[in-house]
Amino acid sequence: MTELFTIVDFDDWRAQARELLAAGRPPSEVDFRAARDRQQRLLAASEGNTTTAVKSATRVPPAFIELAKHVACHRDDDRWNDLYSVLWRLTHDEPRLLDVATDAEVHRLRRREKQVTRDAHKMKAFVRFRKVQDADGELFVAWHRPDHDTLRMVAPFFARRFKGMRWSVLTPYESVVWDMRELKYGPGVPADQAPLDDALEELWKTYYGSIFNPARIKLDMMRREMPARHWRTLPETRIIPELLAEAPRRVESMIQYAARGERGAAAYLPETRELRALAAAAAACRGCDLHARATQTVFGRGPIGAKLMLIGEQPGDQEDLAGEPFVGPAGEVLGEALAAAGIARDEVYVTNAVKHFHWEPRGERRLHKKPPARAMASCRPWIEAEFEAVAPRVVVCLGSTAAQVVVGRDTRLTRDRGVFRTTKFCERTLLTWHPSAILRAPDRAAAAMMQAELIRHLRLAAQEAVAA
């Protein structure tokens, strides 16, 4: 006989699934159903389900838990049953099931995971706050319509980014308020109860107009990445027709600007933003004058989808000759630190903020010279494209130059290292020593201290990448 279970959320499903596994109940004997609305969820949570509490000793792969947390946010009614079926198979003679991409159930879960991740990204990208006044002063309110239940997944991101202001994000299904101390969740709010436009609208439209690139207009992609259902809450959509009308004139202006030799790396970016295409395009980059004396462009190396991304300053002498980042003395120090931190180098994406070697002659040697600000600015589109292609969970800036490019010009390594920062590129960005700084340490004791700190920071970053 099939027993029905009404599921409130992931924690509820996990508790039920753990008990059912311990009781030996196969998927054919249970049927999970999601609570239809918040009222039913509250009722189900208060009444509880009917399984007997049995402690399970079954070990579940961490990868499945991470997958299940994402799938739990999907609004497909069958997600709980599919999760339990895969969980049953994982714990009953198919421990490598998640590696079988062609399995129908695994494929459905992966597809839902991808859809939820994309929906969470859309929420981060499309939420626009309006300033209102209440009894406690300024409150910034946004209304957004997600496709899935991603609010609780994304709310901590907004709490970190806007921790010094009171704000609320409203959705049709659920809402959240940040009072600068904790997140408080409540019922959904219809669109007609969202606040009207305010002065921030004009500021945002001015900003969007300033970053709009008329040379890279792709209307189909724009519609796909900015679906029409979100346009009501996006003030920039109101000026898109005007920007499109102005695009030909602005493109001509950019062509004239490029003719004077002031191009920057943006002019060399390929339309396909895959790593292989980016590396091939970067090889021909003439965006700044560093290319004239360098042997070759040294682009980043590492797997697509690497959870951890390391960013240095620029290639050195041996890197310039080999065409790979961190293969010289600094690379040896980094390799030792990664090994000590328990990190496999081939699982990490390693790159530099500047892609060409900047040096000065000293006899027959080429000595490293800090890249000028114009080179750092010219190279910025490459690092931005790498962030987009790799999508790391954690970024480690090795040294002050990388930190200033990624975090901001006011960053100070002596003050900010070892502390996670939120940037527009990654929610978890960590600053630490550049391996070359360890090589230049005044004595062995100082070098040992810096090396130990680098290892500790790398280990911390790796732990955060797994937990994220």
What is each CA distance from 229 to 146, 151, 225, 226, in whole angstroms?
10, 17, 11, 8
Question: Do the Cβ atoms of 372 and 358 come closer than 8 Å?
Answer: yes
Contact partners, residue 367, CB within 8 Å, separation at least 6? 359, 360, 361
Only one residue has tokens 């979100």, namely: 230
Tokens 């991808």 correspond to 114
Residue 55 has pLDDT above 70, yes or no: no
How confident is the prediction for the chain on average, in pLDDT?
Answer: 84
Q: Helices 62-71 and 79-90 meet at what angle, rounded to 10?
A: 170
Higher pLDDT, 279 or 55: 279
Q: Strand 308-312 relative to strand 167-170: parallel, antiparallel, unpaired?
A: unpaired
In CATH, the architecture of 265-467 is 3-Layer(aba) Sandwich (3.40)
Which tens digit of pLDDT belongs to each residue from 3-12? Answer: 999 998 999 9
Count of CB atoms within 10 A of residue 16's CB?
Answer: 23
Q: Are 413 and 400 in contact (CB under 8 A)?
A: yes
Pairing of strands 308-312, 183-187: unpaired
Q: What tens digit of pLDDT does each residue of 87-98 get?
A: 999 999 899 999
pLDDT in tens, 250-291: 555 555 545 544 457 888 888 888 898 999 999 989 888 898
> For residue 441, what pLDDT band results from cuts at 50, 70 and 90?
very high
User: What local confidence, expressed as pLDDT, does residue 388 receive?
Assistant: 92
The DSSP result for 305-344, as a single string, is: T-SEEEEES---HHHHHHTSSS-SHHHHHHHHHHHHTT--
Least Cα distance to 140 among 203, 230, 218 occurs for 203
pLDDT tens profile 399-415: 999 999 999 888 888 88
pLDDT in tens, 107-158: 999 999 999 999 998 888 888 888 887 788 888 888 888 999 999 999 999 9
pLDDT attached to residue 253: 53
- Burial class of 277 by CB neighbour count within 10 A (0 to 12, 13 to 18, 19+): middle
Joined together, the tokens standing for residue 195 give 């606040």
What is the structure's pLDDT at 257? Answer: 47
Residue 129's pLDDT is what?
A: 83
pLDDT of residue 265: 87
The domain spans of the chain are: 3-118, 128-193, 202-259, 265-467
**Per-residue model confidence (pLDDT) at position 241:** 65
